[in-house]
């Protein structure tokens, strides 16, 4: 459709709407107003209001009718009121009443189908929004004039003041003298009565219309002479590419529909009521629209109906190797271009299953047929049969042992299912390292407890359970102590350090030691000795360390007369060797002007030839050192030292 053609159609629609509004077949009273060509507001959202809309043409109740209306009772529930009614009467077209009368009260003779949204105790109203058939303007539900009801206006719902439009259908079958009332397609009331004789005194010619009213509570209340475009499909709206689709008009209209405008969303249109068969050339999602016009010139809103034309799926299944003793999961791998998969039906091992993915119940190895049938929301089907193999799962064991630090452990795997060929082994040694061979020799770099873990994979792709091997790496971490010096004849406390329980110690040579089998013997020496300490653990691990002890005549300070702090690694520090002096009081150094440039009270303290971070100049410096010997006597020495670079 060109833009100019569309513009002309819009102008035509507006012209027809204006013409219809001018030529409306209804008489409006009170607060009633015409909203659109076929829609009327009975009451606004104000109190003590009443409006009626009467069709100016009498109808003959000797003839059947089937009227469809759209009704809207407003948006306020708790404080909304009062309701509307569809009324047949013979009095004329200028009637109405406010409040609980709903525009019906006092009209006699009459028949009213009342949608009441307020509980008036005087009328014995139920608490819910209700629907009833009443006669001669009487609104009391306990009166004999209450012909049917009350029931909830909506099926299973107490509230009709929900802002929504509802289809209100009134059908009169003159042949059997039965009136039925449905709301949103659900039958709510039925009345079998000769209304012509019993209500209207054998006068079949009546006016029909709507009345609505408000009192202390209020709502916007409105109705439309139904003009709802609606279509119906065959095949439950499920379509696959290539399927012919029969479009059927099932529009709801109060009057006679005179024109239809279909657009099937693929560039094709139709202007007949039943366009019949239509076939889409390509799969996809199409927006089908329809507009209708009735004999009063009213044009409906545009109906939109989404239609999906699906492609046929290609049924496929996938599975990891199916290994006995593991979940035998078979997954759907179907491909589909357009549509939605909704059903999966499986046949395997003599029984059926459903669901996108299933777990099979095979118990022996072998090759089995598995059938998968798939169905889309659009009704498109496909199936496939695949042969799936089921394999034995390997079982393994493994061995290893504890070791001393530095010694290799022989880890070895064993296949316990000889009939299953293995493709690989996978070790996790517990320290972040892995291996992929059956047998390995491995040396841990640190002592401690580790859990080595291994699993195997068969040539069929089945994984064994993991086998765990706890191992202990023994590291005694022996330290016999730092080399040291003592004054001759002065006792020296040795303190070896080792890690572990129930360790055995052996010092060699035994010279000057009070006990060679303990970690902390006392040594009294008159000569230099290099001790060797050997420690054994209960696991059979052995470690050895040495300790050199030099014996000096002392107590005495041995101080160099020069040093060269040039960072060449040789004679870079000025320090004293304190033979037989377990406690240093101080070591001080002054420059030639008497300024102190270094002080320490640590036996291992040393001057690096700097002062406040700057290199001291070359030259001669004065030092003094004082200490306390092992007998508690203090003694000191002073002298000079030359700094050279």
Inter-residue contact 372 to 343 (CB < 8 Å): no
> Could you tell me which residues come within 8 angstroms of residue 2 by beta carbon, excluding any fewer than 6 positions away?
none
The residues near 157 (Cβ < 8 Å, ≥ 6 apart) are none
Residue 49: CB atoms within 10 A of its CB come to 22
- The pair of structure tokens assigned to 292 is 């209708």
pLDDT in tens, 142-177: 999 999 999 999 999 999 999 999 999 999 999 999
Residue 253: its pLDDT value, please?
81
- Bridging pattern class, strands 634-643 and 562-563: parallel
Q: Which range has the top average pLDDT, 234-238, 433-437, 558-562? A: 433-437
Query: What mean pLDDT is predicted for residues 379-397?
Result: 96
Q: Residue 439 in contact with residue 402, Cβ under 8 Å?
A: no
Q: Provide mean pLDDT across the span 209-230.
A: 90
For 329, the enclosing helix (H) or strand (E) is strand 329-332
Inter-residue contact 191 to 179 (CB < 8 Å): yes
What is the chain's length? 645
**Residue 78 — left, alpha, or beta (φ > 0 → left; ψ -120 to 50 → alpha)?**
alpha
- Which tokens belong to 133? 């058939």
Asked if 18 contacts 37 with a C-beta cutoff of 8 angstroms, the reply is no
* Phi, psi at 533, each rounded to 5°: -110, 125
Which of 6-15, 147-156, 404-413, 427-436 bottoms out in mean pLDDT, i.e. has the lowest?
A: 6-15
Rounded CA gap, 71 and 163, in Å? Answer: 10
Q: What is the pLDDT of residues 422-480, one digit of tens each?
A: 999 999 999 999 999 999 999 999 999 999 999 999 999 999 999 999 999 999 999 99
Largest distance between two CA atoms of the chain:
150
Q: How many angstroms separate the CA atoms of 233 and 238, rounded?
A: 9
The DSSP code for 123 is G
Residues 6 or more apart whose Cβ sits within 8 Å of residue 75: 161, 162, 163, 219, 220
Specify the DSSP class assigned to residue 553: S
Reduced to 3 states (helix: H, G, I; strand: E, B; else coil), residue 8 is helix
Q: What is the pTM of this model?
A: 0.55
* pLDDT band per the 50, 70, 90 thresholds, residue 8: very low
Q: pLDDT at residue 589 above 70?
A: yes
More confident residue, 552 or 323: 323
| Residue keyed to tokens 């002054």 | 590
The answer to whether residue 532 scores a pLDDT higher than 90 is yes
User: What CA–CA distance (Å, rounded) separates 241 from 236?
Assistant: 15
Which residues are CB-contacts of 468 (< 8 A; sequence separation ≥ 6)? 451, 452, 453
ω into 340 cis (within 30 of 0): no
DSSP states along 291-303: EEEETTS-BPPPE
Higher pLDDT, residue 645 or 331: 331
pLDDT at 357 over 50: yes
For residue 314, which of 339, 343, 334 has the smallest C-alpha distance? 334
For residue 6, the surrounding DSSP H or E stretch is helix 3-22
Q: Which of 84, 97, 226 is nearest to 160 (CA)?
A: 84
Q: H-type helices in 437-549, by residue range?
A: none
- What integer pLDDT is reported at residue 236 of this predicted model? 52
DSSP notation for 403-443: EETT--EEEEEEES-TTS-EEEEEEE-SSS-EE-SSEEEE-
């Amino acid at each position: 459709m060109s833009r100019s053609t569309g513009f002309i159609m819009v102008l035509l629609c507006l012209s027809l709407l204006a013409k219809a509004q001018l030529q409306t077949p209804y008489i409006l009273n009170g607060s009633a107003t015409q909203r659109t060509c076929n829609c009327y507001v009975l009451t606004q959202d104000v109190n003590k209001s009443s409006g009626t809309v009467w069709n100016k043409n009498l109808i003959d109740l000797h003839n059947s009718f089937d009227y469809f209306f759209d009704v809207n009772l407003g948006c306020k529930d708790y404080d909304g009121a009062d309701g509307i009614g569809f009324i047949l009467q013979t009095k004329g077209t200028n009637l109405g009443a406010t409040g609980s009368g709903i525009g019906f009260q006092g009209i006699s003779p009459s028949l009213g189908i009342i949608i009441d949204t307020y509980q008036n105790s005087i009328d014995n109203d139920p608490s819910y929004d209700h629907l009833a058939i009443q006669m001669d303007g009487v609104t009391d539900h306990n009166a004999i004039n209450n012909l049917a009801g009350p029931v909830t206006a909506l099926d299973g719902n107490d509230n009709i003041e929900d802002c929504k439009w509802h289809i209100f259908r009134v059908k009169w079958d003159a042949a059997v003298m039965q009136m039925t009332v449905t709301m949103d397609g659900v039958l709510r009331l039925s009345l079998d009565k000769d209304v012509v004789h019993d209500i209207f005194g054998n006068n079949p010619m009546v006016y029909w219309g709507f009345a609505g009213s408000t009192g202390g509570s209020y709502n916007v209340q409105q109705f439309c002479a139904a003009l709802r475009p609606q279509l119906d499909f065959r095949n439950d709206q499920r379509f696959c590419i290539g399927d012919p689709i029969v479009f059927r008009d099932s529009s709801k209209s109060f009057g006679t529909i005179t024109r239809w405008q279909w657009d099937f969303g693929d560039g094709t249109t139709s202007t007949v009521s039943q366009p019949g068969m239509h076939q889409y050339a390509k799969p996809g999602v199409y927006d089908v629209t329809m507009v209708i016009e009735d004999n009063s010139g009213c044009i409906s809103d545009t109906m939109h109906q989404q239609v999906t034309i699906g492609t046929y799926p290609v049924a496929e299944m996938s599975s990891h190797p199916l290994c006995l003793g593991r979940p035998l999961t078979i997954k759907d791998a179907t491909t589909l271009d357009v549509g939605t998969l909704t059903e999966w039906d499986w046949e395997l091992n003599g029984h059926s299953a459903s669901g996108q993915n299933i777990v099979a119940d095979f118990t022996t190895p072998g090759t089995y047929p598995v059938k998968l049938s798939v169905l889309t929301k659009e009704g498109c089907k496909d199936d496939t049969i695949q042969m799936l193999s089921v394999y034995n799962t390997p079982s393994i064991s493994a061995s290893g042992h504890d070791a001393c630090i530095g010694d290799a452990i022989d880890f070895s795997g064993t296949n316990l299912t000889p009939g299953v060929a293995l493709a690989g082994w996978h070790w996790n040694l517990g320290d972040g390292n892995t291996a992929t061979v059956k047998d390995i020799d491995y040396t841990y770099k640190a002592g401690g407890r580790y859990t080595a873990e291994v699993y195997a994979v068969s040539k069929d792709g089945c994984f064994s359970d993991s086998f765990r091997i706890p191992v202990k790496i023994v590291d005694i971490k022996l330290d016999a102590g730092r080399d040291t010096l003592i004054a001759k004849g002065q006792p020296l406390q040795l303190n070896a350090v080792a890690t572990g329980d129930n360790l055995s110690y052996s010092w060699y040579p035994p010279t000057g030691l009070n006990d060679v089998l303990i970690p902390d013997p006392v040594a009294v020496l008159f000569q230099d000795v290099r001790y060797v300490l050997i420690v054994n653990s209960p696991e059979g691990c052995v470690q050895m360390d040495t300790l050199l002890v030099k014996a000096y005549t002392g107590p005495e300070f041995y101080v160099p007369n020069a040093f060269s702090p040039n960072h060449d690694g040789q004679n870079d520090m000025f320090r004293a060797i304190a033979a037989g002096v377990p406690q240093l009081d101080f070591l001080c150094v002054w420059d030639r002007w008497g300024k102190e440039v270094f002080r320490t009270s640590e036996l291992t303290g040393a001057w690096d030839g700097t002062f406040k971070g700057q290199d001291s100049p070359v030259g001669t410096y004065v030092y003094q050192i004082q200490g306390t010997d092992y007998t508690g006597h203090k003694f000191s020495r002073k002298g000079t030292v030359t700094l050279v670079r």
